[in-house]
Every structure is written in structure tokens, then in C-alpha cells.
Structure 1
Amino acid sequence: MYQNKLPADPSSLILGIVALCMAIILGCCGFSIIGLILSIIGLISANKSLREYQLNPNAYLPNSRQNVSTAKVLNIIALVLNGIITFIFLGYLIVYGTFMFSSIREELNKSKTDTISYENDEYEWDQQVEEDTIYNYQDSLNQE
């Protein structure tokens, strides 16, 4: 009887390796969500293939089952790592966003009070500019 590989033999293994590499290399950059998605896809396809193997073990190679089991473990590890990194990154964004929002609100409130006082001082500034023109400066030089 001819035996085949399981459907997720190479693909779930590749997805697990890529998701694990993304967790290790690109986790600090915020790309852990992509690794999280890849590991979930790899885990689902590995579980499907293992169910198919349990239904009909004679149709598939035992070596293929071992590869899919390894892929399942890799995907679980990648899922946990990417999940932890994603929660840390989201927590950082929430805390940092809260501080940024409060500082922006303070600056906006401060600028509203500054514009009111600036509008009152603007008229006095215009009168001083009319008195201190370049022509008055040249006239004062000519008088000396």
C-alpha cells in the first residue's frame, strides 16, 4: 500500500519556524502580531493533520506524523512567545499613550490660556511696531 505525507507536514513546520523567528528577531518592533497569526494558522493545520492521521494511520507515513507533531510543538512555543510579546507591547502602548494624551491635554489647555492673554497684548505690540519702524531708526541716525 502506498503511503502519503500528511497535508500539513511541510507547511505547518515552516509556519512554526517563521513565527518563532519573528518572535525572537522582530518581537521588539511590534511585528509579533504577524507571528501570532502565523503560529495560530500553523497550529490549526497541524491539529487537522493529526486528526486525519488518527482516523487512518495506515494511509500516512509515520515520519510525517513526527514532523507534524514537531510542528505543533513549535507553533505552541511561537504562540506563547508572540502572545507574551504582544501583551507587553500593548501594555506599553496603553501606558505611553496615557502619558502622551495627558501631556497633550495639558499643552492644549495651556495654549488656550496663552492665546487669550496674547490677544490682549497684540494691540500693544502693533502700536510699538508703528513707533519703532525702520524709518524712525534712520531718522535717529541722521540726527546724530
Structure 2
Amino acid sequence: MEQQKLPNVTLILVLGIASIILCWCYGVLGLILSIIALILAMNSSKTYKANPEDYTNYSALKTAKLVSIIGLVLNILFLIFIIGFIMWIGWDVVMSQDQELIQERMNELLNN
């Protein structure tokens, strides 16, 4: 039987890289992409473990999974930062989008 490549490895890698790039979109879009990539990676890993002699690119799958995990961690950290910033400044100030009010609130908080 001829060996073949694991399914979705390239897609998993692309989703992992995209999740790292998009982590600056408030952590939500990149978080979704990294979760999808990790689910696909788990499915491909199960496929490999069922018949390891049939597939050749397991090392690429491990790399793609690592990239997805890095994307997941970065997105979670950025989401925590955004939530902390909103709690620190105040939701009303953030929603007003008034730069002077934001600067004033930050100065008040830093001087206390």
C-alpha cells in the first residue's frame, strides 16, 4: 500500500498562522481559527494513530498543531488584556470613543 499525506495538514497550518496574525482583532477571530485548527489537528492525529504506516507527514502535523497552540495562547492573552483594559478604564469611556475622556480617565487612574 502506498503512503499518503495526512488530510488537512496544510489547512491546519494556515489556520494556525492566521490565528497568530489575527490575534490583534480583539482576540476573538484568531481564537476561533485556532480552536478550529486544533480540532482538525486532533482528528488528523487520530487518523494517523489508527494506521501510522499509511501516512508520511506526521511531523508537519505536529508543527501545525504547535503553531495553532501558540495562536490560541496569544489570542487568550490579548483577550484578557482587552477585558482588563475595559475594566480599568470603564465601559462608558470606551464606548464614548472620546480620546480626551479616555486620556483624562487614564490620568486620573495613574495619579491615584
TM-score band, normalised by the shorter chain?
0.7 to 0.9
Percent identical: 38
Aligned with residue 68 of structure 1, among 43, 61, 71: 61
Equivalent residue letter for 1:59: D
Which residue of 2 is the match for residue 6 of structure 1? Answer: 6
Closer, same or farther: CA 94–53 of 1 in aligned 2, 3 Å: same
Q: Which consecutive aligned stretches of 4+ in structure 1 deviate over 6 angstroms post-superposition?
A: none
Provide Cα deviations, 1:36-86, integer angstroms capped at 9, x if missing partner. 11011101111111111011112211xx11111000100011100110001
Aligned residue for 2:90, secondary structure, equals helix
Residues 9-24 of structure 1: pairs in structure 2 closer than 5 A? 9-23=9-23
Tell me, yes or no, if structure 1 residue 86 matches structure 2 residue 103.
Answer: no
TM norm structure 1:
0.60
Distance (Å, rounded) in 2 between the aligned partners of 1:20 and 1:67: 18
Q: After the TM superposition, which of the residue ranges 69-78 and 5-14 deviates more from structure 2? A: 5-14
Secondary structure of the residue that 1:6 maps to in structure 2? coil
Ranked by relative contact order (alpha carbons within 8 Å, sequence separation 6 or more), the top structure is 2
1:19 and 1:98 map into 2 onto residues whose CA distance is 26
Which protein is richer in helix relative to its size? Answer: 1
| Equivalent pairs, count | 94
**1:80 corresponds to which letter in structure 2?**
V
* Larger-Rg structure: 1
Deviations 1:71-110 (A, max 9, x none): 0100011100110001111121233235639xxxxxxxxx
What's the Cα RMSD here? 1.8
Cα deviation 1:118-144 (Å, max 9, x = unaligned): xxxxxxxxxxxxxxxxxxxxxxxxxxx
Counterpart of 2:52? 57
* Cα distance in 1, alignment partners of residues 93 and 73 from structure 2: 30
Runs of 5+ consecutive residues of structure 2 not aligned to the other structure? 95-112
Structure 1 unaligned regions, length at least 5: 102-144
TM norm structure 2: 0.75
